[in-house]
Amino acid sequence: MPEAASSPRTSLETSVGDPITFAVVKNAMDAIVDEVAYTVIRTARSEIVKDVMDYSAAICDARGEMVAQAKTIAQHLGAIPEAMAAVQAKWDGRLSPGDAVIMNDPYSGGMHLPDIFMFFPIFDGAEVLAWSVVICHHTDVGGRVPGSNAADSTEIYQEGLRIPPLKLFRDGVMDETLEQLIGLNVRVPDRVIGDLRAQYAACQVGAREIGRLVARYGAAGMRGYFAGLLDYAERMARAEIATWPRGTFRFTDHIDSDGLSDDPVPLTVAVTVRGDGTLQVDWAGSSKQVKAAINSTLSFTKSNTFLSVRCALKGDIPNNAGVFRCIEVSAPEGSVLNPIAPAPVAARALTGYRVMDTMFGALAQIVPDVVPAAGEGGNTVVCLGGRHPDNRPFIIVDMISGCWGGRPDQDGIEAITNPSQNLSNTPVEVLERQHPVRIEDYALVEDSGGAGRFRGGMGLRRSYRLLADEAVMQLRADRLRFAPYGLDGGEPGGVAGNWLGEGNAKTAIPGKVTMTVRSGELLTHHQAGGGGHGDPFTREPEAVARDVWNGKVTVNAARARYGVAVDAAGKVDAAETARLRARRKRA
């Protein structure tokens, strides 16, 4: 891996002061991180990475501040600063070209154990100029259950290998001791080691492309551009936040339970808009840390808080750590959003989704014209682990992406990733080809979208029939009790549900459970629908008719929830519709 050239072609003052060159470098950085991301897809071994796309990529400056991020899992990237701080604290001055450090410890800036960070230093001579960073969700990292992602673990020691910042690659060669240690402790070592090598290959691509920019603009020039990009994002974010109404805006949402008790888990936020274009986000009043594994580390809580604000800002602000400077986040120690070790955190993504839902509820009071109603509540994880007839292990980690809530000017979208992520639903063909499972139903759930002037998106339904002798099944689902909220008079979305069996033998099962499934048994999950936006009785009758014709809304729901009389063919009875809506106004 060649080192970056260091002879500058432009002065620091000129490089930052030239807006055209600045824009060229900004766009080049965006292209570089996307190329890093494409390399992961092309080289990864597991479907959780190459098909579901549960991974992230970024370039950081020498201090570890994120300068550019790929179009990948945005939920990951706000955690980089604390993870990077742990890496630099241990390895500062002790890394060489070709080295790479990995870590996954949630209590050293990580998120949960399956998400392994890799940090690859990019050198200018003897000094680190930048970092290429790739985070991948690995199929398995050991622990008590296949997939290492169970919601019902009670301490982090049950969840798998906990890796502090360790050097996995030395001068381009994987450390044999650490490779053997990881391989011996995971159920599918070929996939895990293969994905780690994919991360390294992708990091090298980032270093190569940064080297090309350095060859053109010089190391000093690139340092200036890195600083300029961060300052530019901060200035733009501050300027926009300064236009928001001053004050403190509060909102509370809930997780159904932690799965080990029936108690709801409230998340409460107070967002204070200051006159200097900054935000104070305080999570005081949220639940204390819980016994089960839905606790969210502070780094992950911050990441989702940053992301929520970024979603409410204009799209032309660079996606980098400059935006983070405008947002101060606090969460009480010992809370579900800032737990004390050894609290379990494997299923923390669920809490991250609710952090965003809660933030959106507060932001909707500040910038109501850009914030959607609540979506499905985050993806559902269905994990099945067992053995093929020839004793080879299999692990399915299926993340079902559902829908958005209704938006201020458009309906919610179906079968799409949660706004906090950029995931894809695993293709049925991939699941059935690689694992002993048959997908017998994959459809939208009619009437699940919350009614509104702009309807919430519909939830997804998926059914899995096990073809192996048995498997350990982990389910992480939510919104069975607390439906996704609507906004501005919109109705809540439909709630989620899980069942084992079929016909008269079908039995409802909890949203967070680990259990054994036997050969031939059928597991069915349907997600919640998104909340509606605006008064449903102001929705255009023709839009309701299209939904009926498309099978998204039933004839009875059209009449009861929208005041629209329409037949199954989508033909509206205008006179009856007028009577229904007039009757509602009088009531």
* Whether 67 contacts 226, CB under 8 Å: yes
| Spatial separation of the C-alpha atoms in residues 484 and 249, rounded to whole Å | 19
Whether the Cβ atoms of residue 75 and residue 421 lie closer than 8 Å to each other = yes
Pairing between β-strand 512-518 and β-strand 460-466 as defined by DSSP bridges: unpaired
Q: Looking at residue 17, what is its pLDDT?
A: 66
CA distance 283 to 375: 21
For residue 545, which amino acid is it? A
The CA distance from 381 to 46, in Å, is: 16
For the chain, counts of helices (H) and of strands (E) = 14, 20
Q: What's the burial of 288, exposed, middle or buried (CB within 10 Å: 0-12/13-18/19+)?
A: exposed
The single residue listed with the structure tokens 């800032």 is 338
Q: DSSP assignment of 306-373, as one string? A: HHHHHHHS-TTS--STTGGGGEEEE--TTBTTBPPTT---TTHHHHHHHHHHHHHHHHTTT-TTTPPP
Q: Is 276 in a helix, a strand, or coil? A: coil
The residue ranges of every structural domain in the chain are 12-237, 372-539
Measured between alpha carbons, how far is 372 from 486 in angstroms, rounded to an integer?
9
Please give the structure tokens belonging to residue 501: 């069996």
What pLDDT score does 10 carry? Answer: 37
In sequence order, the β-bridge partners of residue 438 are 465
User: Residue 170's beta-bridge partner residues?
Assistant: 173
Return phi, psi of residue 18, to 5°.
-90, 105
Q: Determine the pLDDT at residue 2.
A: 42
Place of tokens 């933030």: 359
Cβ of 302: how many Cβ atoms within 10 Å? 25
CA 292 from chain centre, in angstroms, equals: 20
Instruction: State the pairing for strand pair 512-518/470-476.
Output: antiparallel
- Give tens-digit pLDDT for 6-44: 433 333 343 456 889 999 999 999 999 999 999 999 999
Q: How much is the pLDDT for 551? A: 95
Q: How would you list the strands of the sheet with 512-518, edge to edge?
A: 393-400, 380-387, 470-476, 512-518
Are the CB atoms for 40 and 51 separated by under 8 Å?
A: no
Q: Which pLDDT belongs to residue 9?
A: 37
What sections of 450-552 are H helices per DSSP? 541-549
Task: Determine phi and psi for 282, rounding to 5 degrees.
Answer: -115, 125
**Beta strand extents in 70-126 (DSSP E only):** 100-103, 115-124
pLDDT score for 16:
59
* Phi and psi angles of residue 352, each rounded to the nearest 5 degrees, phi first: -60, -40
The separation between CA 140 and the C-alpha centre of its own chain, rounded to angstroms, equals 18
C-beta separation of 358 from 336 below 8 A: no
448 by DSSP, 3-state: which?
Answer: coil
Closest CA to 115 of 138, 131, 144, 133: 138
Q: How many residues does the chain have?
A: 587
Asked whether 439 and 470 are in contact (CB, 8 A), the reply is: no
Let me know: does 352 contact 75? Beta carbons within 8 Å.
yes
The residue type of 381 is: V
CB 422 within 8 A of CB 508: no
pLDDT at 467: 97
**Structural contact between residues 568 and 442, judged by C-beta atoms closer than 8 angstroms:** no
The percent of residues in the chain predicted with pLDDT above 70, rounded, is 97
What is the DSSP-derived secondary structure letter of residue 181?
Answer: H
For residue 169, give the H/E element and its range.
Answer: strand 166-170
| C-alpha separations of 55 from 73, 202, 311, 424, 535 in Å | 6, 12, 19, 11, 38
Point out which residues pair with 513 in neighbouring strands.
Answer: 475
**pLDDT given for residue 418 in this prediction:** 87
- Do 46 and 138 touch, CB atoms closer than 8 A? yes
d(CA 173, CA 27): 32
Q: How would you write the pLDDT of the chain (587 residues) with one tens digit per residue?
A: 444 444 333 333 434 568 899 999 999 999 999 999 999 999 999 999 999 999 999 999 999 999 999 988 888 888 898 999 999 999 999 999 999 999 999 999 899 999 999 999 999 999 999 999 999 999 999 999 999 999 999 999 999 999 999 999 999 999 999 999 999 999 999 999 999 999 999 999 999 999 999 999 999 999 999 999 999 999 999 999 999 999 999 999 999 999 999 999 999 999 999 999 999 999 999 999 999 999 999 999 999 999 999 999 987 899 999 999 999 999 999 999 999 999 999 999 999 999 999 999 999 999 999 999 999 999 999 999 999 999 999 999 999 998 999 999 999 999 998 888 888 899 999 999 999 999 999 999 999 999 999 999 999 999 999 999 999 999 999 999 999 999 999 999 999 999 999 988 899 999 999 999 999 999 999 999 999 999 999 999 999 999 999 999 999 999 999 999 999 999 999 999 999 999 988 77
Beta carbons within 10 angstroms of residue 187's beta carbon: 20
Distance CA(225)–CA(29), nearest Å, equals 10
Beta carbons of 492 and 484 less than 8 angstroms apart: yes
Query: How far apart are the two ends of the chain, measured CA to CA in Å?
Result: 74
E-assigned strand segments in 390-511:
393-400, 437-444, 460-466, 470-476, 497-500, 507-508
Distance CA 529, CA 490 (A): 13
DSSP assignment letter at 377: S
